[in-house]
Chains A and B, each alone.
Chain A
Amino acid sequence: MSLWILGLMVAFFAFVSFRWKWPIGIGLAASALLGGLLGGTPLWAGEGRGLLRHLVEGAFVYIDPMLIMASAIFFMKCIEDSGLLSALNLRILRHLGRSPFWLSILLAAFVAFPGLLTGLTTASVLTTGAIASVPLIKLGMDRRRVGAFIAIAAIIGMVAPPINLPVMIIGGGVDMPYIGFTLPLLLLCIPTLVLSSLWLAYPSLRGVDVTPVLAELDDGPWQRHGVKLLLPLLVVLALMSGPRLFPGVWPSIGLPLTFVLGSVVALVSGDRVRLLRAARGATHQALPVMAILVGVGCFIQVMTLGGMRGELVIACLQLPDWLLFAGITVSMPLFGAVSAFGSASVLGVPFLLALLGRPEIWVGAGLSMMASLGDLMPPTALSGIFAAQVVGEPNYLKVLRHCLLPAALLAAWALVVILFAEPLSGFFAGLFGGV
């Protein structure tokens, strides 16, 4: 058994990041280094047998999400400058400001939107989340609650179709094509989005007068540029959906280039974009998260190398049947302390295999929501950390406290979908003639 090494790695990581305030990415990489050495791997050895090769290799696993994140944040900075985001937001407030019920729900959907296209919570929190936070705070909502509102909506955006990375990771492990997930994912997302947004926002928005807030918001960009303002968003949407609408004809150019092209369009479609400032701001926001992903990659590689990954999975699967579902509900979000994607890959795949025989699409969808909740789990807590940044709350744990109840709701609902996968899939297959 080498799980004690994992324990030491976690303890070391907690110590350096909470006590010594090391950046999380560096703390993770350092604890990976420690774990590898404790496991008996020499730092350097011929033919790639050394620990350094493993650390570098692990560090590269999330290079694509890192590039997507950096370019998406840059894109959002650009359309923020061009005036597009504020114009959209103003329209939401103008049409819905007098209806706190719809405002809560649609604003949550607005926040979730980038996550739904990129599969990343950070894309939501830092962009539409940042925009939506302003009027919510102005309408008198507690800023920590606003942070929680954004963080939870972003998690739901990550789970929602068309792009759900944890499901793809889980599916890749069991040869399950990414087909037929739209319905289960919508069933997971819509009720939870409605309930959690109402729980977090509705009480504070009820009875608030929207007129003074509207008067403060500037509609200049829309008056100056009109529909042209929407171009960058349309370009990005077209480049994203083209390959799926016209497979084989329309090449997929990848999300990073998609966002960069969208940004280029933003340069000419609205107010002046301060390019250098946008790039620096985007890098500044993206860098700590990219460092976390690098650290996570190192950490999991060392877990695999030393056998801790397998032992952890076996320990979870050894739970008696009646505890297995409790194990899923606890361990998958908890493993998100390292990474939600890691949770999907390390735990999601074996759990799906252990539940084989139930409708795997529904089970996989439920597991993906469990994994996605990991983005709220300290210390990485990508969604929570950025949400706190966005609303100006220095202690992200205070934002996470408001997330507790909605997160529990999400986990419970995911569990319901997993437990009742059989009747649910049967019911919807009957309804839609077997989608």
Chain B
Amino acid sequence: MKRFHPWILLALSLLICALTARDFLLQHRPDAIVAGPGVTEQRRLSEWMPELEGTRGDTEVYLLAGADTTGGDVLVLGGTHPNEPAAFLAAVLLVENLQVSHGRLWVIPQANHSAFSQTEPQEAHPQFFHLPDREGGERRFRMGSRLSNPLDQWPDPEITVHHPSGQSLSGNETRNLNRCFPGRREGTHTERVAWAIRHLVDSEDIKLLIDIHEASIEYPVVNAVVAHEHASDIAGMAVFNLAMEGLDYNLEPSPKNLHGLSHRELGDHCAPLYATLLETANVIQGRLRGKTSEAVLLSGDDPCYHDAGEIGMNRVHYPEEGIPFRQRVWRHIAACRELIGSYSMMHPEAPLYISGFPEGTVLLEEGCGPYLMPVP
């Protein structure tokens, strides 16, 4: 093929690499998360596992402690899957807005920090999304990938063997944090992150875990609270209260035969932890979606999913106006509030009392802006 002279092709490739390297490197910059008035300590996950220090797996841990420390401890995980942006942002809003009077709230907004540094090939996701802050400025957040960055863990085995159950999964799930629990101290990068989180749960005596996620509309478990069997009462009460507020949630039992998930493994290994997980419906994760862009990420409105609804592929009702980002964030915040409320009701001896939850009416009408602090 003389038409494609090798030197010309090589020069062209180098040019493309130089031009695009900027884009990829930009995604390695950390997101700005502002510690709100309720944050009493800003710590790092590596405090629970020193081996993580200096790696991309080390991530911010925000502690919001009440003056009265006799209460219980709750841990919220956002960004276990960084391609589920409403999950990440709900955790950010908790950090920037809540005030705790009784007990301690721990929030890890970017649980799989490594996975925030890349987007997934073939998904054509935007690398960033932008939201206004309360003073009219702009906040930029990363849209990451479901899997840890291969720069931190590579190559994938042909088959992932989960520790300790021995269950097999496809090879790339080895970089999926929510298939690596309870983790392993000498394990892979992702297993170490899982182990660090588990160790935090153990050593800080966490009573309730809320792992926030999103899923595609055709995925069987969506608009759901998934609960370990030990947490089914608390989750059931929360689902009931959410329904009173007009927010429909399915209560899904944590499957016993699917290993590596936070609610299954931490619920089993860190008993008597109440382990729960939240799902909202996110079109930009789905395989049936049309054009992929930041606009669709935020609007949650996709013409293909209307067609999908007509042929019965959608697992939840997909309204005319779509399922916007702000609504998904609101659902997560409301569910966190109700889960924590149910926990406190059942454990009056060690409750968690929180104020400052973002309000549904404001979120739905004005979006996240009023609850996002300007970056100093």
Residues of A participating in the B interface, judged by any CB pair closer than 8 Å: 2, 20-23, 26, 39, 44, 47-50, 52-58, 60-61, 64, 67, 119, 163, 168-169, 171-175, 177-179, 240, 243-244, 247-248, 252, 254-257, 297, 300-302, 304-307, 309-311, 313-314, 317-318, 345-346, 349-350, 353-354, 356
Q: Are A64 and B287 in contact (CB under 8 A)?
A: no
Interface residues of B (CB under 8 A from A): 1, 3-4, 16-17, 19-20, 23-24, 26-27, 119, 121-124, 126-128, 140, 155-159, 161, 163-164, 166-173, 218-220, 258, 286-292, 294, 302, 304, 307-308, 311, 313
Q: Which residues from A are CB-within-8-Å of B311? A: 314, 317-318
Within 8 Å by CB of A311, from B4, B17, B128, B290, lies B290
Contact A52:B16 (CB < 8 A) given known A243-B161, A248-B161, A356-B220: yes
| The 5 A-B residue pairs with the shortest CB-CB distance in the complex, in nearest-first order | A307-B290, A252-B157, A168-B170, A254-B155, A307-B291
Contacts of B164 in A (CB 8 A): 248
> Which of chain A's residues have a CB closer than 8 A to the CB of B155?
64, 67, 254-257
In the complex the two chains form, what is the Cα distance from A2 to B289 in whole Å? 12
- Check A56/B17 contact, CB under 8 A, given A64-B156, A311-B290: yes
> Beyond A67-B155, A163-B159, A305-B124: 11 further Cβ-contacts under 8 Å?
A48-B119, A50-B23, A52-B20, A119-B158, A169-B170, A172-B172, A304-B292, A307-B289, A307-B290, A309-B287, A310-B287
Chosen A-B contacts, 10 in total, with CB atoms closer than 8 Å, are A26-B4, A48-B27, A56-B24, A64-B156, A178-B169, A252-B157, A254-B156, A304-B292, A310-B302, A317-B311
Q: Are A301 and B124 also in contact (CB < 8 A) when A44-B19, A307-B292 are?
A: yes
Task: Tell me the nearest residue of chain B to A341, going by C-beta.
Answer: B122
Q: How far is the CA of A356 from the CA of B291 in the complex (A)?
A: 26
Q: Measured between alpha carbons, how far is A48 from B25 in the docked complex, in Å?
A: 10
Contacts of A168 in B (CB 8 A): 159, 170-171
When distances are taken between beta carbons in the complex, the residues of chain B under 8 Å from A56 are: 16-17, 20, 24
Task: Across the interface, name the chain A residue whose C-beta is closest to B143.
Answer: A48
B20: which of A53, A248, A354 is its contact (CB, 8 Å)? A53
Q: Name the CB-closest residue of B to A44.
A: B19
Q: A240 to B258, alpha carbons, bound, how many Å?
A: 25
A243 to chain B: which residues have CB within 8 Å? 157, 159, 161
Q: B170 to A171, Cβ gap below 8 A?
A: yes
A39 to B157, CA, bound (A): 37
What is the total of A-B residue contacts with beta carbons within 8 Å? 158
**In the complex, which residue of chain A has the Cβ closest to the Cβ of B173?**
A172
- Is there contact, CB below 8 Å, between A172 and B170? yes
Q: A47-B127, A313-B287, A314-B288 are in contact. Are A52 and B161 (CB under 8 A)?
A: no
- B304/A307 in contact, CB under 8 A: yes
With a CB–CB cut-off of 8 A, which chain B residues contact A67?
Answer: 155
User: Which of A52, A54, A252, A346 meets B19, CB within 8 Å?
Assistant: A52
A178 and B168 in contact, given A58-B121, A163-B158 (Cβ under 8 angstroms): yes
* Complex interface: chain B residues within 8 A of A314 (CB): 288, 304, 307-308, 311
Closest to A349 in B: B287
Please give, as numbers and ranges, the residues of chain B lying within 8 Å of A39 by CB-CB distance: 291
Q: Within the complex, what minimum Cβ distance (angstroms) separates A40 from chain B?
A: 9
Contact B119 A306 (CB under 8 A): no
Question: Chain B residues near A244 (CB, 8 Å)?
Answer: 159, 161
- Residues of chain A contacted by B126 (CB below 8 angstroms): 47-49
In whole Å, how far is B150's beta carbon from the nearest beta carbon of chain A?
8
Q: Give A306 to B101 CA distance when docked, in angstroms.
A: 49
Residue in B27, B163, B173 whose Cβ sees the most chain A Cβ within 10 Å: B173
Contact: A178 with B26, CB < 8 Å? no
Taking a contact as CB atoms closer than 8 A, the residue among B26, B170, B171 that contacts A48 in the complex is: B26
CA gap between A44 and B218 in the complex, in Å: 33
Taking a contact as CB atoms under 8 Å apart, the answer to whether A305 and B171 are in contact is: no
Cα separation A353 to B290 with both chains bound (whole Å): 18
Query: What CA separation (Å) do A337 and B131 show in the bound complex?
Result: 41
Instruction: Tell me the bound Cα distance from A48 to B144 in angstroms.
Output: 13
B-chain residues with CB within 8 Å of residue A60 when the two chains form the complex: 121
A257, B157: Cα distance in complex, Å: 11
Q: A173, B287: Cβ atoms under 8 Å?
A: yes
A57 contacts B307, CB within 8 Å?
no
Residues of chain B within 8 A (CB-CB) of A346 are 287
Complex CA–CA separation, A171 to B167 (angstroms): 14
Chain A hits for B169, CB < 8 A: 171-172, 177-178
Question: In the complex, which residues of chain B have a beta carbon less than 8 angstroms from the beta carbon of A310?
Answer: 286-290, 302, 304
- Give complex CA distance A309, B122 in Å: 10
Complex: how many Å from CA A21 to CA B127?
Answer: 36
- The answer on a CB contact under 8 Å between A179 and B4 is no
Q: Are B119 and A57 in contact (CB under 8 A)?
A: yes
Residues of B within 8 A of A318 (CB): 307, 311
Q: Choose one: A20, A21, A247; the contact of B161 (CB below 8 Å).
A: A247
- A112 CA / B289 CA spacing, docked (Å): 37
* Closest A residue by C-beta to B310: A318
Residues in A neighbouring B24, C-beta threshold 8 A: 48, 53, 56
- Tell me the complex Cα distance, A50–B16, Å: 12
A13 to B307, CA, bound (A): 29
A172 to chain B, nearest CB (A): 5
Cα distance A250–B206 when bound, in Å?
34
A304 touches B124 (CB 8 A): yes
Least CB distance from B313 to A in Å reads 6
Task: Closest A residue to B221 by CB, please name it.
Answer: A175
Residues on A with C-beta less than 8 A from B17 are 56
